[in-house]
Amino acid sequence: MKPTQETPPEPTAAALILRLGGVDYRLIRVGRDWLLRKPDGSTYAIARTRSGMTCDCPRARYAGSGSGPCKHLTALQALGLCRG
Ligand SMILES: [Zn+2]
């Protein structure tokens, strides 16, 4: 018989989970930037660029910066995890 459950995480494993709009994003620190991974596997990168912090989610890419930061960037800034 094959085991049907995933191996439980190590007792010392730590993760930051951002619950946003009913979705739990796993926050992964990459240097000074962040990756937000959704349960379905899609991942958005929040990174510092010359024009400030940006997110590469569909809303941020297609709506442009003129409509203000997306919900991901807004949430990370509100939590103090990234600046401007
Ligand atoms: Zn975003």
DSSP type of residue 54: E
CA of 41 to the centre of ligand 1 (A): 15
pLDDT at site 14: 74
CA of 13 to the centre of ligand 1 (A): 26
Looking at the predicted structure, is the pLDDT value of residue 41 above 80?
yes
Domain coordinates in residue numbering, the chain: 16-78
CA of 73 to the centre of ligand 1 (A): 6
What distance in Å separates the CA atoms of residue 60 and residue 68, rounded to the nearest whole number? 9
Q: With bands split at pLDDT 50, 70 and 90, how would you rate the model's confidence at 5?
A: low
CA of 25 to the centre of ligand 1 (A): 11
What distance in Å separates the CA atoms of residue 70 and residue 57, rounded to the nearest whole number? 8
CA of 36 to the centre of ligand 1 (A): 9
Q: With bands split at pLDDT 50, 70 and 90, how would you rate the model's confidence at 28?
A: very high
Q: Could you tell me where the DSSP H helices lie in 1-84?
A: 58-63, 71-78
What distance in Å separates the CA atoms of residue 24 and residue 75, rounded to the nearest whole number? 13
